[in-house]
Structure 1
Amino acid sequence: MRTHGYVIAGEPVDIHVVEDAQDVRAFQDWAAGHISAGRPVAFDTETSGLDIFSADYRLRLAQFGDQRTAWVLPVERGRLFADAARRVLLDLPRVVIHHAAFDWLVADRCLGVPLEHLYPRTVDTKIMATLVDPRQAQEGGVGTGLKPLSAHYIDPAAPDTQEDLTRVFRSLGLTKAAGFAGIPLDHPTYETYAGLDVLLTARLLYALNGVHAELGIRPTLLEYEHRIAFICAHMQRTGLLCDVEYTKALSDRLHAQAEEFEHKARRYGVESINSPKQVADALLGMGETLTERTAGGALRVDKAVLLALADLNTSWERLGARTPNPLADAVIRSKRAGKWKSAYADTFLQTLDAEGRVHPFIHSLAARTGRMSITRPALQTLPGRDVMIRRAILADEGHVMISCDFDAVEMRVMAALADVRRMKAAILAGEDLHSYTRSLVYGDAPDPDGRLRALCKGIGFGKIFGGGASGVARMTGADEGAVRSAMRTYDHVFPEIKRASNTWQREAMANGMITTTVTGRRLPLDRDRTYAVVNYQVQSAARDCLGQALCDMQDAGVLDYLRLPVHDEVLVSAPAEDAQDIARAVEKAMNFDLYGVPITASADIGKRSWGSLKGGDY
């Protein structure tokens, strides 16, 4: 056995590296003491990378520890060490993990310890820290990573080993991405880094327990977030079946589209569509007026500006507000094709497992408000009406795709939380909320092309997402002056929204700039953006509507059919003969009452591909 000494917060700690059968017995004796006493043990893994389900994925080290002692098992060396890690992990009554969803899946795949076994025994210190403060360092928070949290709560020198390990990677000629797979298993810096992670996690649990007690964070909220993390990890483990041949052809087609529109841009003097100056100069030469500038003073020609010039809204639908500029149209279409090729088609192909499935990372607590996100690939960024990319994702053999999507959930949540009398009445009467709002704002004014309805819809979402008149004007294509006038009328017919905003802001200011949601979630406000309180309250409650629905789906016995939560939609793969029953169960979980406002959803049963739910024919 080799032992590395270290000091954390002035206290000496030991990191034992297991080398042989005798060392394994010593580790098991240590673990047995914790098991019999019911004490929590921290667990962590070092792996070859992040793509858990790739063919060549390796678990290299498995670590266990308490506040003073860590044990590092070189699992990559053979069955003796893997079996020891597995047995202890199966027997531990309480496990502490930082970012449990990742290590759950690693243990499930590489150690044969089922996700279902570990989840009920786990406390995730990342979830605990997020419920204290969800902000990252760049937002003014501590962050939710183990190293910054340890530096804040335990020892300012805690992150040092991360820098040491990065230097070792460089000395070995390895990038950071390749370093974890290529560093020698017995490198002392690597072993120390691994052991410290569990020592810090064990100490972090103790510190965060105190903070939770001091702040009065609800234990039920902590349990709820662990359950949602488990459900999301379950979906990630299942993965999405990919139509590989279609995806290969799609990659080629998107490449051709990117080149086609890039060639069109060259006709207007733009040699590089990624050069903002070339694009801006060419647009000015075509007679366009550009007024917005970047922080550096350059003319802004980002996606929002180009969409407006191309007469498109954020869903890539024609606005009819102006003659589309052909250069702006070509630039954004070329960029989109290139992005979709790399971000979706190519990422699908690069991350396939042996069974032709992709396993996107589902982050159950991503945004400050708790909203979920999906990465690798970022499927939540797909436009709502896309068929092309969604066509690549298939239901299992003999299954069909089902989608269940909340109906205008943010607007309904806002009506519930702010107790908006007229809005609630319209919802209860079954009226189209945006058409109803148009009638209140514009009376009997004709609206043959639906622009007034679209403007009222844009203002409603502007209230929720913190968009001012300029943002709503850009989104809807309406004149900014007309938007400001409509917003004043909107505030007059729905005064409760501004009233609730003022109340929430006052409460936050009296509570150290913290607004507390209906589920007890603490959300820090920025002093220069206190108006965002409406966004935080509504988005967080809408996220928890989805979270509770997922829990209810698990209770209804349909967890194995769930594939992905995307925004306010749940994607399901169900056997064709059972599709109606499963759709009803999912739909039932997504229909409930929130402070007198019905939160509703309806399930659609498609064909084999996800794209069929958006109008595709397969």
Structure 2
Amino acid sequence: MADKQHLYLVDGSAYIFRAYHRLPPLTNPAGTPVGAVYGYTTMLWKLADDLDKADGPTHLAVILDKGSTSFRNVLYDQYKANRPPPPEDLVPQFPLIRDATRAFSLPCIEEDDLEADDLIASYAREATRRGWDVTIVSSDKDLMQLVGRCSEPHDGIEGGCIDMLDTMKNQRIDIPEVVEKFGVPPELVGDVLALMGDSVDNIPGIYGIGPKTASKLIQDHGSLAAALDAAPEMKAGKLRERLIEGRAMAELSRTLVQLKEDCELPIPLDDMKLEGVPPEPLAAFLSEHGFTSLLKRLDGGKGSPERPTQLNPAKAQTAGAPAAPEGNRQPVPEMPPVDRSAYECVTSLERLVHWIERAFAARIVAIDTETSSLDAMKAELAGISLALGPNDACYIPLGHGGSDMFAERPVQVERQAAYDALRPLLESDAVLKIGQNIKYDISILSRCAKIDVAPIDDTMIISFALDAGRSLDGIGGGHGMDELSTRHLGHTTLTFKDICGTGKKAIPFGEVPLDKATQYAAEDADVTWRLWKHLKPRLATERGTQVYERVDRPLIPVVAQMERHGIKVDRQQLARLSEEFATEIARIEREVWDCCGIEFTIGSPKQLGDVLFDKLGYKGGRKGKSGQYSTDQAILETLAGQGAEVATKVLEWRQLSKLKSTYTDALQAAINPDTGRVHTSYSLVGAQTGRLSSTDPNLQNIPIRTEIGRQIREAFVAEEGNVLLAADYSQIELRLAAHMANVPQLKEAFSAGEDIHSRTASEMFGTVDRDTRARAKTVNFAILYGISRWGLGGRLGIEADEAQAIIDTYFQRFPGIQQYIHTTLESVREKGYSETLFGRKTWFPRINSKNPNERSGSERAAINAPIQGTSADIIKRAMARMMPALQEAELGHVRMLLQVHDELVFELPEGDVDAARPVIERVMAEAAQPAVILDVPLGIDIGTGRSWGAAH
């Protein structure tokens, strides 16, 4: 034991709300909500583990608020009156959180009529008097009054001192940190608080005096009493009037913020001695509530648990839970109509602090940013909006004013001051931040303000988890704010065009007058808050919680960070390729003209159709409503299959032209001048099955197996001294098909590490050679996409009857595949949606259409959606777990740059490849676990090189 005793006092109440907002609404085997209990347990475990590794405490206790009232309510009946009641599903968790504390064999202290802060202050005072050092585990500003307090030596005992530990920021708070925050030493913090008040606790303070003014008054006069006494002699003005008129309220406020340091101590200090955690009570508690992953860690003797990967399945999410009614007729929570006149334009720091304090009290705030561009890597921040409820929203302009340097700028909060004020709120674990496509907002705030927004919820992603592919009430199935507002709230939002105009008369948002800007921006936050109140409860009732909380939500900050990292491209290499492609395009163009005996514009569908079907007389031409022939890829491939050389050359010309314009030319233009890298934008709702999609530029469609595609990938390079590492799931969709369709032959082949296409060729054709393996490979993938006899015939170059015979043989050899297709289609026709192994729904509203083309298209997509969607879920889970795993291996400097279908691309120092490779491979291989245990292993192919092409 250390020579000097060190007491840690944990502000447990702050932990509870942080845990509640961090974790999903889980339930234990008895059906009781335990999401906050689980989070609290993991946080307490992590704290104990971290302290054990550091210079740990000799004594520790958790202090809680016992009730919602204290002696301060007698002094001021409005004290904490504006705090909302705790959420309904949190109330039954309070006693379980006390049980969790005791399961760690730690004292759990609470007293009637006292707040946790008072007990903490009293214990800290007594401990320092006895010569102990004290650390208060909290970031509560009221407790900062105690920091630096040291007892005088007495009776031969050296006095102890007090500091704080903010576990959210992993930061010690001592006197310099308090001075930096309040401008005064800890003993004067109460005086500052008394002047500025506190909206969270409804401490009145003096109206109109914000933190900066309060701090300066105390700095200048030395105390609250001196500042109030000096008011009559001050220069006439609003400040003087406010001090004189508000004196009584300031003095009352000083009493309310004063910590009570003479409470009776319910448990003696010596009873807080740490002597290890007996495993039996903790194991019993974890087992009772179904915390199986923590129980395994306890049994394994491991350290602090990470965020949970799986809990006992929530009773509210059993397979028998009813799906949402068709048409999504769930009632919207009762809310008043949108009233844009109710929004506030915040132009002073005092008003901004007021909104921030109210947001802390509400614990939930919707946020939105207004910028100069949709490119998160280039956009300038024009302003930020907040919403705390219906019509309870504001806009904080930060960058408004004309582009002309002589233009008059409206009064606004100084940008850096606003960032400093907003940072504690936007980074607080105790306040949930809601956004619509919040990935964009957190990227903007990270780049422009160095603010790391968390925890978060995203209404766009929630909508996608519930309604991907679903067309409702004739409105459509998109997930943009305007569409969601119309569909769910019956409200038509202002559009960007309404505010900024269109065409040559369009103006940047930063030049929009503040009254109009406020209506538009605050409405976005208001509507986002309303959508969240409507959509979030549906996750539990419609079994969407698991996929949202375990797959999609954790991915948002990961993808935002990948976008900010970007990837370096070699401009010279791209320029060389563009020149080569241009030369090759010109050569093919001449060959096409030679074949046709006429020069024409190959890129014109009308001219090409006239040449192919009128001049050259090829069969199969069909005209559309416009009166011109169709020359789409299917038509050209059909003609090429019939031996039309010109069609083959036109297809080559189109591919090269597209690659040149889309990649070798566009990538050069896409290089960010500030970073020298290309920053693609990933959409989490761009593909119905859950796959990420890439835009600006699109990196998903670079040909994979062609020489041209390899040359383009060669232009993606690592920085000097680094390499790129490409990790690719090998045949993941076939592996998932083997598991989901329960195909013994395929499962055996994958488990034995056999070549799956050779095994299929052996099963189907009785022999394995280059030709049969190629045909087997085509069949393996085609059947998973629900291909028809005609489609397979076209791919194999055979007649439809022969293709049908191959399909029949395939189903005979692998009956599980046929049963999977039958069962899947039957389920989708009945329910309207398919599901992945993780519960992701994809809706198919036309699956029962009387139109055969619509119906067959939906059927093909429905067959593949569970497999492709599960594949997407798995790589998403791998991405979300990757950086914590790398950081644990002391490889936090490794950067994840790209996700392309089943592949992840990293950049890292060349010397770290051997250390990083097994970590990356393990995370990807185990990504499905423990939520899903697959019957086949997930194979990972890893390569490295100076370029992306070389890494394959």
Q: Normalising to structure 2: TM-score of the pair?
A: 0.57
Q: Give 3-state SS (helix, strand or coil) of 1:51's partner.
A: coil
Q: Deviations over 1:60-88 (max 9, x none)?
A: 12211222222212221477145314522
Is 1:570 matched with 2:904? yes
**CA offset at residue 464 of structure 1?**
2.0
**CA offset at residue 613 of structure 1?**
2.9
Is 1:249 matched with 2:576? yes
The counterpart of 2:762, out of the listed 428, 439, 444, is: 439
Q: Map residues 365-404 of structure 1 onto 2, 5 A cutoff.
A: 365-385=685-705, 386-404=709-727
Change over 3 Å in CA distance of 1:293–1:443 after alignment to 2: farther
Q: Give 3-state SS (helix, strand or coil) of 1:387's partner.
A: helix
Is 1:537 matched with 2:876? no
Q: Map residues 392-541 of structure 1 onto 2, 5 A cutoff.
A: 392-444=715-767, 447=769, 450-511=770-831, 513-525=832-844, 526-527=846-847, 528=855, 529-541=858-870
**CA offset at residue 184 of structure 1?**
1.9
**CA offset at residue 246 of structure 1?**
1.9
**CA offset at residue 260 of structure 1?**
3.1
Q: Which residue of 2 aligns with 1:173?
A: 505
Two-structure CA RMSD over aligned residues (Å): 2.7
| Structure 2: unaligned runs, 5 residues or longer | 1-334, 401-411, 848-854
Q: Is the 8 A contact 1:515 1:522 kept in 2?
A: yes
Change over 3 Å in CA distance of 1:298–1:484 after alignment to 2: farther
Q: Tell me whether 336-345 or 97-106 shows the greater mean CA deviation.
A: 336-345
1: distance between equivalents of 2:631 and 2:773? 28
Q: Deviations over 1:150-200 (max 9, x none)?
A: 11111x23234456336x335x623xxxx5x36623264443221210010
Q: Which residue of 1 aligns with 2:935?
A: 596
1:18 partner letter:
V
Q: Which residue of 2 aligns with 1:53?
A: 377
Q: Is the 8 A contact 2:371 2:509 kept in 1?
A: no
1: distance between equivalents of 2:468 and 2:573? 39
2: distance between equivalents of 1:153 and 1:563? 36
Q: Give 3-state SS (helix, strand or coil) of 1:76's partner.
A: coil
Q: Which residue of 2 aligns with 1:232?
A: 559
Q: Deviations over 1:27-72 (max 9, x none)?
A: 221220221x242111111111122223xx3111221122222221
Q: Map residues 191-202 of structure 1 onto 2, 5 A cutoff.
A: 191-202=518-529
2:544 partner letter:
I
Q: Which residue of 1 aligns with 2:447?
A: 109
Q: Is the 8 A contact 1:270 1:278 kept in 2?
A: no
Q: Which residue of 2 aligns with 1:29?
A: 354
Q: Is the 8 A contact 2:475 2:487 kept in 1?
A: no
Q: Give 3-state SS (helix, strand or coil) of 2:749's partner.
A: helix
Q: Is the 8 A contact 1:131 1:521 kept in 2?
A: yes
Q: Map residues 89-168 of structure 1 onto 2, 5 A cutoff.
A: 89-92=423-426, 93-113=431-451, 117-118=452-453, 120-135=454-469, 141-154=476-489, 156-162=490-496, 164-165=498-499, 168=501
**CA offset at residue 309 of structure 1?**
4.6
Q: Is the 8 A contact 1:473 1:480 kept in 2?
A: yes
Q: Which residue of 1 aligns with 2:947?
A: 609
Q: Deviations over 1:257-308 (max 9, x none)?
A: 3333233323323512123343334334556443677687865432244345
Q: Is the 8 A contact 1:236 1:360 kept in 2?
A: yes
Change over 3 Å in CA distance of 1:74–1:251 after alignment to 2: farther
Q: Is the 8 A contact 2:434 2:458 kept in 1?
A: yes
2: distance between equivalents of 1:289 and 1:613? 45
2:353 partner letter:
Q
**CA offset at residue 332 of structure 1?**
2.3
2:485 partner letter:
S
| Structure 1: unaligned runs, 5 residues or longer | 1-7, 312-321
Is 1:331 matched with 2:661? no
2: distance between equivalents of 1:456 and 1:609? 32
Q: Is the 8 A contact 2:546 2:838 kept in 1?
A: no
The counterpart of 2:396, out of the listed 73, 77, 85, is: 73
2: distance between equivalents of 1:31 and 1:52? 25
Q: Is the 8 A contact 2:509 2:517 kept in 1?
A: no
Change over 3 Å in CA distance of 1:568–1:599 after alignment to 2: same
Larger RCO: 1 or 2 (CA < 8 Å, sep 6+): 1
Q: Give 3-state SS (helix, strand or coil) of 1:143's partner.
A: coil
Q: Deviations over 1:466-493 (max 9, x none)?
A: 3323333333444433222211111111
Q: Give 3-state SS (helix, strand or coil) of 1:548's partner.
A: helix
1:574 partner letter:
L
Q: Give 3-state SS (helix, strand or coil) of 1:612's partner.
A: coil
Q: Deviations over 1:519-548 (max 9, x none)?
A: 111221232223532211100111112112
Number of aligned pairs? 573
Q: Which residue of 2 aligns with 1:306?
A: 636
1:169 partner letter:
T
Q: Is the 8 A contact 1:347 1:376 kept in 2?
A: no
Is 1:348 matched with 2:667? yes
Q: Deviations over 1:110-135 (max 9, x none)?
A: 1221xxx31x3111111111111012
Change over 3 Å in CA distance of 1:540–1:219 after alignment to 2: closer
**CA offset at residue 568 of structure 1?**
0.6
1: distance between equivalents of 2:627 and 2:789? 23
Q: Normalising to structure 1: TM-score of the pair?
A: 0.86
Q: Give 3-state SS (helix, strand or coil) of 2:385's partner.
A: strand
Q: Is the 8 A contact 1:232 1:363 kept in 2?
A: no
1: distance between equivalents of 2:921 and 2:681? 25
2: distance between equivalents of 1:245 and 1:130? 41
Change over 3 Å in CA distance of 1:418–1:49 after alignment to 2: same
**CA offset at residue 215 of structure 1?**
1.4
Change over 3 Å in CA distance of 1:430–1:101 after alignment to 2: same
Q: Tell me whether 88-97 or 235-244 shows the greater mean CA deviation.
A: 88-97
The counterpart of 1:585, out of the listed 919, 935, 942, is: 919
Q: Give 3-state SS (helix, strand or coil) of 1:564's partner.
A: strand
Q: Give 3-state SS (helix, strand or coil) of 1:381's partner.
A: coil
Q: Is the 8 A contact 1:405 1:601 kept in 2?
A: yes
2: distance between equivalents of 1:212 and 1:562? 30
Q: Which residue of 2 aligns with 1:42?
A: 366
Q: Which residue of 2 aligns with 1:3?
A: none
Q: Is the 8 A contact 1:17 1:191 kept in 2?
A: yes
2:343 partner letter:
I
1:553 partner letter:
M
Change over 3 Å in CA distance of 1:86–1:537 after alignment to 2: farther
Q: Which residue of 2 aligns with 1:361?
A: 681
1: distance between equivalents of 2:747 and 2:626? 46
1: distance between equivalents of 2:502 and 2:616? 51
2: distance between equivalents of 1:531 and 1:140? 25
Q: Give 3-state SS (helix, strand or coil) of 1:374's partner.
A: strand
1: distance between equivalents of 2:563 and 2:725? 17
Change over 3 Å in CA distance of 1:440–1:223 after alignment to 2: closer
Is 1:555 matched with 2:878? no
2:730 partner letter:
D
